[in-house]
Amino acid sequence: DTAVSQTPKYLVTQMGNDKSIKCEQNLGHDTMYWYKQDSKKFLKIMFSYNNKELIINETVPNRFSPKSPDKAHLNLHINSLELGDSAVYFCASSQWGNNYGYTFGSGTRLTVV
């Protein structure tokens, strides 16, 4: 009964490929996020969706395209992967406007070779 689950856990791929990461939450939250943790372990927001609508899009290359088919799912598709995309990507969820904090998934370690 994992609260926020991401698949795959590990992803190794070649430069130029296209890949997707999936995230699902069973907490009934209405807001989901993608964060990127770089090689220096710094976590930075990429996207935020509330009720399937994009509400935050930080300065992320157009090669990254999130998609939220429903409130419980937020997927991340990455085109034309580059070496610099290697990082750990974390999905998180929260309930908009309440004070119960964020719940994070266990992360997807993406390695581009």
Nearest to residue 29, comparing CAs of 84, 101, 88? Answer: 101
Residue 105 in the binding site for another protein (CB under 8 A): yes
- Identified binder of another protein from the candidate list 12, 15, 27, 43, rule CB under 8 A: 43
Residue 49 in the binding site for another protein (CB under 8 A): no
Rounded CA separation 106/88 (Å): 10
Q: How far is CA 102 from CA 15, 27, 31, 47, 81, in A?
A: 32, 11, 10, 14, 28
Q: How far is CA 5 from CA 10, 15, 21, 60, in A?
A: 13, 26, 11, 23
Residue 45 in the binding site for another protein (CB under 8 A): yes
- Identified binder of another protein from the candidate list 21, 23, 33, 85, rule CB under 8 A: 33
- How many residues bind another protein (CB under 8 A)? The answer is 22
Residues between 65 and 94 that touch another protein (CB under 8 A): 90, 92
| Interface residue list for another protein (CB under 8 A) | 33, 40-45, 48, 55-56, 90, 92, 99-107, 109
